[in-house]
Amino acid sequence: MGKFKLFWKDNGIGYLFLTPWLIGILTLTAIPMGASLYFSFTSYDMFNAPTWIGFDNYTSLFSDPKWLQSVKVTVIYVFFGVPLQLAFALFIAVLLNKGIGGLRVYRAVYYVPSLFGGSVAIAILWRQIFGGNGLVNNILGKFGIDGINWISTPSTALYTLIILMVWQFGASMVIFLAGLKQVPIELYESAKIDGAGPMKQFFKITLPLITPVVFFNLVMGIIGAFQAFTPAYIVSGGTGGPLNSTLFYTLYLYQKGFTQFAMGYASAMAWVLLIVIAIATAIVFATSKKWVYYQG
């Protein structure tokens, strides 16, 4: 038998089942990644052939005020939104885990916003709620407070989107709940006998034992938040306004690539995003040795 025949006899069936995935990873992931890396060193508008310009795209990013602004907006969004969302999720999960009953109903109620959160419908709702004539100002009006138009005020617009992210804490809460269920109940009983109060129990038992879940939620939250797009697009009508205060990184990438057809520039932006996400994840991984506690 030839070499190929032998290889096929041992591995053929495995590769047969893997064929769709292999084609996918090659044509829709690997080759596009190579292509986008190449484009990132070119000036390319889709209509004329790409011309090689070396690192120009990358260097001009740093003198592009809009790019710097989009980085700032996204970093604020990630740094405030993710920890706040996780804190809420953990807080509610701990309460629900106290054996109070009604768990299924409560879990459903808190999960629903996560289910809807990424939709255009909710972004539209948010635009109304925080608008000048919106629900928030109507409620404030009942207390005699004149609200501003939160969406069109540069200093507040981004924070309405952070509230939207925090509102969707349900998915991470579900993961926290599952993690909390795995903490052995005997630990709490012996802690009670030793006279540890609820706070002490939380910080000495619960938190250390669920750090792997905190870690998972943190990594996933960071990766997801860096890529957020829909809320900013809908709430700002695709502009990232007012005054670029909601110009998410991905929104600027979209504008550059698909409305201005600066494909090379947008590719460079995509690679910087990849690197930033990788670094952020790596930092969490590196510090995790200090704070994530694995049993056994």
Using CB under 8 A, which residues numbered 226 to 285 contact other proteins? 226-227, 229-230, 233-234, 237, 250, 253-254, 257-258, 263, 266-267, 269-271, 273-274, 277, 281
Q: Is 41 in the site for other proteins (CB under 8 A)?
A: no
Q: In the complex with other proteins, which residue's Cβ is closer, 113 or 208?
A: 113
- Residues from 10 through 39 that contact other proteins (CB under 8 A): 10-11, 13-15, 17-25, 27-29, 31-33, 35-36, 39
Which part of the chain contacts other proteins (CB under 8 A), choosing from 54-62, 66-74, 79-87, 94-102?
94-102
Q: Is 221 in the site for other proteins (CB under 8 A)?
A: no
- In whole angstroms, the minimum distance from the beta carbon of 119 to other proteins comes to 5
Tell me: cis bond preceding 184? Omega within 30 of 0 counts: no
Q: Is 157 in the site for other proteins (CB under 8 A)?
A: no
Which part of the chain contacts other proteins (CB under 8 A), choosing from 60-68, 72-80, 219-227, 239-247?
219-227
Residue burial 216-233, b: 16+ Cβ < 10 Å; e: rest = bbbbbbbebbbebebbbb
- In whole angstroms, the minimum distance from the beta carbon of 68 to other proteins comes to 18
- In whole angstroms, the minimum distance from the beta carbon of 29 to other proteins comes to 6
Size, binding site for other proteins by CB under 8 A: 92
> For the chain, how many helices (H) and strands (E)?
16, 2
DSSP 204-260: IIIHHHTHHHHHHHHHHHHHHHHT--HHHHHHTTTS--STTTT--HHHHHHIIIIIS
State the DSSP code for 118.
Answer: T
- Residues from 199 through 218 that contact other proteins (CB under 8 A): 213, 216-217
Q: Is 100 in the site for other proteins (CB under 8 A)?
A: yes
- Residues from 47 through 86 that contact other proteins (CB under 8 A): none
Partners of 42 in beta bridges: 52
Q: Of 226, 215, 214, 217, whose CA–CA distance to 76 is shortest? A: 226
State the DSSP code for 43.
Answer: E
**Given 179, 209, 245, 246, the residue binding other proteins (CB under 8 A):** 179
- In whole angstroms, the minimum distance from the beta carbon of 198 to other proteins comes to 9
| Cα gap 88→162, rounded to integer Å | 13
Q: In the complex with other proteins, which residue's Cβ is closer, 128 or 190?
A: 128
| Cα gap 184→59, rounded to integer Å | 54
**Given 86, 92, 161, 225, the residue binding other proteins (CB under 8 A):** 92
Which part of the chain contacts other proteins (CB under 8 A), choosing from 62-70, 73-81, 99-107, 154-162?
99-107
Contacts of 220 (CB under 8 A, 6+ apart): 172
254: left (phi over 0), alpha (psi -120 to 50) or beta: alpha
Q: Is 127 in the site for other proteins (CB under 8 A)?
A: yes
State the DSSP code for 40.
Answer: T
